[in-house]
């Protein structure tokens, strides 16, 4: 008997179908993950803005108390309130939408003492409870 060499013509690697399946799975995972990421980002920006509004409201109340002003009187300026805050606070949703997104006055409206401050960037959803 004669010994014959059997040659295997299969090259090691992935077939086109296998690669297409992997790409489809990655696309499916991205389609699920991206909307959840956007929703989580929006939610965290809203919570951060509401916390900023609480800090500003507390600073306004403290300013009024130290200056012996009553509620419904005058509204403090951002500079007067800054002394009672650790640092300037801005709305995290501002991004580049506002010309001067780094200033507190561009992000928030300071109302008279006793009235909650308001967000200028997303006034509909960024409201103190």
Task: Answer yes or no: is 5 within a domain.
Answer: no
Per-residue pLDDT at 100 exceeds 60: no
Q: pLDDT tens, 24-73? A: 999 999 999 999 999 999 999 999 999 999 999 999 999 999 988 877 77
pLDDT, the chain, mean = 85
Task: Answer yes or no: is 6 within a domain.
Answer: no
Mean pLDDT within 20-24: 97
Neighbours of 52 (CB within 10 A): 23
Total domains, the chain: 1
Q: How far apart are CA 60 and CA 54, in angstroms?
A: 10
pLDDT at residue 99, rounded to an integer:
47
- Residue among 97, 85, 81 nearest 45 (CA): 97
Task: Answer yes or no: is 3 within a domain.
Answer: no
Task: Answer yes or no: is 75 within a domain.
Answer: yes
Mean pLDDT within 78-96: 84
Q: How far apart are CA 7 and CA 55, in angstroms?
A: 77
- Is the pTM above the cut of 0.85? no
Task: Answer yes or no: is 126 within a domain.
Answer: no
Task: Answer yes or no: is 54 within a domain.
Answer: yes
Task: Answer yes or no: is 8 within a domain.
Answer: no
What is residue 60's three-state secondary structure?
A: helix
CA 44 to chain centre: 5
Per-residue pLDDT at 75 exceeds 60: yes
Q: How far apart are CA 28 and CA 36, in angstroms?
A: 13
Range of the domain at 92: 16-119
Task: Answer yes or no: is 46 within a domain.
Answer: yes
């Amino acid at each position: 008997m004669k010994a014959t060499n059997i040659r295997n013509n299969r090259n090691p690697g992935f077939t086109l179908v296998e690669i297409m399946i992997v790409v489809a799975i990655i696309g499916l995972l991205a389609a699920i993950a991206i909307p959840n990421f956007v929703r989580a980002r929006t939610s965290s920006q809203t919570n951060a803005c509401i916390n900023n509004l609480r800090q500003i409201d507390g600073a306004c109340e403290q300013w009024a108390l130290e200056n012996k002003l009553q509620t419904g009187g005058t509204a403090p300026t951002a500079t007067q309130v800054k002394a009672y805050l650790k640092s300037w606070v801005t709305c995290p949703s501002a991004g580049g939408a506002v010309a001067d997104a780094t200033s507190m006055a561009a992000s928030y409206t300071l109302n008279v003492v006793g009235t909650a401050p308001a967000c200028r960037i997303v006034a509909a959803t960024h409201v103190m409870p």
